């Protein structure tokens, strides 16, 4: 598929544990479910999806930088890196692709440290607290901008 119709889906640290990690907060859907929901919604909107998950910041940055070659947008749930990573922000702004920031839980209803996002002011779309369905919402909202 050409560059005109591909999105990069990025899931950060600990999201590989979805389905078993704190199900009272994150639900029981798995990362595989998230990738399926995102891909199905993207296909309906005319996009392909390439998915990456890593617990390592550098791997995520490499994937974001590589997206310049064949993607027109990014959907990212940075996990805990949301609150700590200036370099992740720099990578996202550096590639110049519009991106959607997604959080499964309502970060503003949780611990104070989760209220700060290094991405909030540079994200084209923010979807917070809608569970894994938020990924589908992010695809739709980002697709509307593209």
110 is an annotated ligand-binding site residue? no
104 is an annotated ligand-binding site residue? yes
Instruction: Give me the catalytic one of 56, 103, 116, 120.
Output: 103
83 is an annotated ligand-binding site residue? yes
Which residues contact residue 143 at a Cβ distance below 8 angstroms, ignoring those fewer than 6 apart? 42, 45, 46, 47, 73
Question: Is residue 120 flagged as an active site residue?
Answer: no
Q: What is the CATH number of the domain that holds 23?
A: 3.40.50.9100
**Which pLDDT does position 62 carry in this prediction?**
98
CA 122 to chain centre: 14
- Please say whether the beta carbons of 37 and 135 come within 8 A: yes
> What pTM value is reported for the model?
0.93
Tens digit of each residue's pLDDT, the chain (146 residues): 444 699 999 999 999 999 999 999 898 999 999 999 999 999 999 999 999 999 999 999 999 999 999 999 999 999 999 988 999 999 999 999 999 999 998 888 888 878 889 899 999 999 999 999 999 999 999 999 99
Q: Which domain holds residue 95?
A: 3-145
Instruction: Please give the DSSP secondary-structure letter assigned to residue 75.
Output: E
Instruction: Indicate the Cα dihedral angle 137, 138, 141, 142, nearest 10°.
Output: -150
Question: Is residue 26 flagged as an active site residue?
Answer: yes
- Based on the structure, what is the number of domains in the chain? 1
């Amino acid at each position: 598929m050409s560059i005109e119709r591909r999105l990069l889906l990025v899931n950060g640290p600990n999201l590989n544990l979805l389905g078993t990690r704190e199900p009272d907060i994150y639900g029981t859907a798995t990362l595989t479910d998230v990738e399926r929901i995102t891909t199905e919604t993207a296909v309906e909107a005319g996009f392909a999806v390439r998915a990456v998950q890593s617990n390592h910041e550098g791997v995520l940055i490499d994937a974001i930088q590589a997206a310049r070659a064949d993607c027109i947008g990014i959907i990212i749930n940075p996990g805990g890196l949301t609150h700590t990573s200036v370099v992740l922000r720099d990578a996202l702004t550096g590639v110049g692709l519009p991106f959607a920031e997604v959080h499964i839980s309502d970060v503003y209803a949780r611990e104070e440290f989760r209220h700060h996002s290094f991405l909030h002011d540079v994200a084209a779309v923010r979807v917070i607290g809608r569970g894994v369905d938020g990924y589908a919402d992010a695809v739709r909202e980002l697709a509307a901008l593209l």
